[in-house]
């Protein structure tokens, strides 16, 4: 009996059990469907140099959303016709694994949604990368979405930032991104896909050092007066994420430095680097 | 892929030094848009919009079809927005350019995702079995005639105007029997619209990233970044898209939002007035 009670009381079942109990984005205890508080982020994990063959790569996960980014270049452009005499060309290609979402679905490369997504990532990073240092060359960014549970854009931007840092491409600042939603008047950060389909949401990418915003993307209806609070909270959250990303980069760099000094026994974590 | 000719250094410097003094190449103030001219055709559901030299034609046609399996009680709306080389030599048929993808996705999000049209009202005959269900399929086709900047706003106004202008044939359902009446027999009925979202585009120009509304083609090419906001008259943001480009303080984004609110009200008035003027010239027969 007690087991039964436990299941009925779990917030996850709330949305599944029949039409009379609608999905509650925020329950009476001020907790969200996965037990987070409104301004709490999902667990953020990042790893650098996940792909030894790329010049730089990173894998980022926000909860169950997992994205890998690989950076090749700066290198000689494959398509000579598109090279620019004074700066590097940035190419972005996005592929979403068919099993990533809730239902298996194959997306073609010419899918307009994917193309738009790639274009917005490209124009986010073009002004941040110091492209003028690499005239007549090209930087290729490949993004692979492995698991999808909301926050695709934020995970992709964060993964790309880390991959570019890993590749040693000079940038003006980190670009850190976070999504935010609004339930009645409560703003919440880092939405899962269930929340994303129910609430108005915005994804914001910031340059944390200057506090400026490079990307704002909102696709759901929301009153102008409600927008500002949510937007500014997402920006603040982005700045916090930058600290996390910076910590990952520093750890990785310290591990590399230890190896270069030599004579220090490799830790288990650093073993992969010997493959390089 | 044909690459567009980049603006010359002289043009670049002229535009950027002019905007610092608050002047634009065509004599407008930074927050002044070009005049939107709307012209209706002889048939219901044909609109030509022009914004300066930018011109877009929008056309609607309705057919009776089967619905999608997963949405058996909803009509279907298709927005065709393919660029042809007619608009500008930079566009190619077949392969969508980046601009085309952005514009068609923005239109899709503004009109379809924001539920501007009541899709359930497009259902003609509902039933347990999909094989007996009939719905209306609305096809909005946009023809881009010339691109002198800000195709998106022009196309969006054209699409909204054409949906408000269009009338679908009246129907009658008796049991499982559907009768579609030709316009001579019964007056066609207007579509059910929830709200009228309109798109407002901005560009950030010059060394100080001055906010400029309704950019021309040259200004779009020289812009440090662009931003598009779709709103309705009830001050609800439907889409806000600032995809990269120059980084801005949050207040500048909010300022653009507030400018867009006013501009959308203006655009809505223009469309409403044009529709009123047009309806006076038409005799839509009442049975």
In chain A, where the domains are located: 3-241
Domains of chain B from N-terminus onward: 9-286 (3.30.230.70)
Residue positions counted in chain A: 276
Confidence of residue B89 (pLDDT cuts 50, 70, 90): confident
- Residue B33 DSSP code: P
Neighboring chain A residues of B261 at a CB cutoff of 8 Å:
224
pLDDT exceeds cutoff 50 at B24: yes
Please indicate if any CB of chain B lies within 8 Å of the CB of A174: no
Both structure tokens of B127 = 């039933």
Task: State the pLDDT at residue A268.
Answer: 53
List Cβ neighbours of A240 (8 Å cut-off, separation of 6 or more): A41
What's the CATH architecture for A3-241?
2-Layer Sandwich (3.30)
Share of chain B above pLDDT 70, in %: 98
Strands (E) located in chain A: 44-48, 56-62, 65-76, 89-96, 137-147, 176-183, 186-189, 201-207, 212-218, 222-223
What is the mean pLDDT of the segment spanning B254-272?
95
Q: Mean pLDDT lowest for which of A135-149, A249-263, B11-25? A: A249-263
CB–CB contact A224 B231 (8 Å): yes
**Rounded to 5 degrees, what are φ and ψ at A166?**
-65, -35
Both structure tokens of B107 = 């239109």
pLDDT exceeds cutoff 80 at A174: yes
User: What average pLDDT does the structure give for chain A?
Assistant: 86
Task: State the pLDDT at residue B8.
Answer: 93
Task: State the pLDDT at residue B15.
Answer: 94
Interface of chain B toward chain A, CB-CB under 8 angstroms: 1, 3, 96, 98, 101-102, 104-105, 109, 113-115, 224-225, 227, 231, 234-250, 253-254, 257-258, 261
Please indicate if any CB of chain B lies within 8 Å of the CB of A85: no
Q: What angle do CA B157, B263, B246 make, to 5 degrees?
A: 95
Confidence of residue A266 (pLDDT cuts 50, 70, 90): low
Residue of A nearest to B254 (CA): A228
Which of B1, B240, B247 minimises the CB distance to A218?
Answer: B240
Q: Mean pLDDT lowest for which of A194-198, A259-263, B87-91, B243-247? A: A259-263
Task: State the pLDDT at residue B1.
Answer: 56
pLDDT exceeds cutoff 50 at A9: no
Q: What does the pLDDT look like over B194-240, one tens digit per residue?
A: 999 999 999 999 899 999 999 999 999 999 999 999 999 999 999 99
If DSSP codes are grouped into helix, strand and coil, which group holds residue B275? helix
Which of A116, A206, A212 minimises the CB distance to B105?
Answer: A116
pLDDT exceeds cutoff 90 at B287: no
What is the mean pLDDT of the segment spanning A93-97?
93
Task: State the pLDDT at residue B75.
Answer: 92
Both structure tokens of B203 = 């560009």
Report A:183-222 residues touching B (Cβ under 8 A): 202, 206-207, 210-222
What is the mean pLDDT of the segment spanning A121-140?
94
What is the mean pLDDT of the segment spanning A4-25?
49
Both structure tokens of B141 = 């086709």
A267 vs B231, residue with greater confidence: B231
CB–CB contact B243 A223 (8 Å): no
pLDDT exceeds cutoff 50 at A1: no
For helices A224-261 and B250-281, what crossing angle results, to 10°?
A: 140
- Residue B190 DSSP code: E
Task: State the pLDDT at residue A262.
Answer: 76
pLDDT exceeds cutoff 70 at A5: no
CB–CB contact B249 A212 (8 Å): yes
Q: What does the pLDDT look like over B62-84, one tens digit per residue?
A: 999 998 888 888 999 999 988 88
Task: State the pLDDT at residue B90.
Answer: 82
Neighboring chain A residues of B101 at a CB cutoff of 8 Å:
112, 115-116, 119
Please indicate if any CB of chain B lies within 8 Å of the CB of A126: yes
Which of A214, A215, A221 minimises the CB distance to B114?
Answer: A221
Task: State the pLDDT at residue B103.
Answer: 92
A221 vs A3, residue with greater confidence: A221
pTM for the structure as a whole: 0.88
Share of chain B above pLDDT 90, in %: 72
What is the mean pLDDT of the segment spanning B31-44?
93
Confidence of residue A53 (pLDDT cuts 50, 70, 90): very high
Confidence of residue A54 (pLDDT cuts 50, 70, 90): very high
Element (H, E) at A271: none
CB–CB contact B244 A123 (8 Å): yes
pLDDT exceeds cutoff 60 at A218: yes
């Amino acid at each position: 009996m007690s087991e039964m009670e436990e299941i009925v009381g779990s917030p996850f079942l709330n949305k599944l059990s029949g039409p009379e109990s609608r999905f509650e984005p925020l329950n009476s205890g001020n907790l969200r469907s996965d037990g987070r508080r409104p301004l709490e982020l999902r667990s953020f994990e990042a790893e650098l140099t996940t792909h030894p063959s790329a010049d730089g790569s990173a894998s980022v996960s926000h909860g169950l959303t997992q994205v890998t980014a690989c950076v090749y270049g700066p290198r000689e452009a494959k398509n000579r016709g598109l090279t620019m005499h004074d700066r590097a060309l940035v190419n972005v290609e996005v592929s979403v694994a068919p099993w990533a979402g809730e239902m298996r679905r194959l997306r073609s490369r010419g899918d307009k949604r994917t193309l738009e997504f790639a274009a917005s990532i490209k124009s986010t990073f073009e002004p941040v990368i110091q492209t003028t240092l690499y005239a007549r060359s090209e930087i290729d960014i490949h993004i692979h979405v492995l698991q999808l549970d909301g926050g695709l854009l934020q995970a992709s931007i964060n993964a790309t930032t880390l991959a570019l840092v890993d590749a040693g491409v000079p940038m003006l600042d980190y670009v850190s991104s976070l999504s935010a939603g609004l339930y009645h008047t409560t703003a919440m950060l880092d939405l899962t896909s269930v929340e994303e389909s129910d609430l108005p949401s915005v994804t914001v990418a910031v340059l944390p050092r200057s506090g400026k915003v490079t990307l704002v993307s909102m696709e759901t209806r929301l009153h102008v007066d409600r927008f500002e609070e949510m937007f500014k909270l997402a920006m603040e959250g982005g700045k916090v994420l930058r600290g996390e990303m910076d910590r990952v980069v520093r750890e990785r760099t310290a591990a590399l430095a230890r190896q270069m000094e030599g004579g220090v026994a490799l830790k288990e974590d650093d073993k992969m680097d010997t493959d390089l | 892929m044909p690459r567009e000719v980049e603006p010359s250094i002289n043009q670049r410097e002229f535009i950027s030094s002019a905007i610092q003094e608050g002047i634009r190449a065509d004599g407008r103030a930074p927050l002044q848009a070009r005049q939107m001219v709307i012209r209706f055709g002889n048939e219901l559901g044909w609109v030509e919009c022009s914004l300066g030299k930018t011109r877009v034609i929008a056309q609607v046609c309705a057919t009776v079809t089967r619905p999608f399996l997963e949405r058996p009680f909803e009509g279907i709306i298709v927005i065709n927005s393919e660029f042809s080389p007619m608009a500008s030599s930079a566009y190619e048929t077949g392969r969508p350019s980046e601009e085309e993808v952005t514009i068609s996705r923005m239109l899709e999000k503004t009109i379809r995702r924001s539920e501007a049209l009541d899709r359930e009202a497009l259902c003609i005959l509902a039933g347990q079995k999909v094989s007996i269900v009939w719905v209306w399929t609305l096809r909005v086709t946009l023809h881009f005639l010339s691109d002198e900047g800000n195709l998106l706003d022009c196309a969006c106004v054209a699409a909204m105007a054409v949906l408000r202008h269009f009338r679908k044939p009246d129907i009658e359902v008796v049991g499982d029997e559907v009768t579609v009446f030709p316009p001579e027999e019964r007056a066609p009925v207007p579509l059910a619209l929830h709200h009228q979202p309109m798109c407002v585009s901005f560009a950030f120009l010059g060394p100080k990233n001055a906010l400029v509304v309704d950019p021309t083609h040259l200004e779009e090419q020289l812009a440090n970044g662009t931003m598009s906001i779709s709103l309705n008259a009830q001050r609800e943001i439907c889409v806000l898209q600032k995809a990269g480009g120059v980084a801005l303080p949050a207040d500048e984004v909010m300022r653009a939002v507030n400018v867009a609110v006013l501009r959308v009200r203006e655009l809505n008035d223009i469309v409403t007035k044009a529709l009123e003027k047009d309806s006076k010239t038409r005799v839509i027969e009442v049975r």
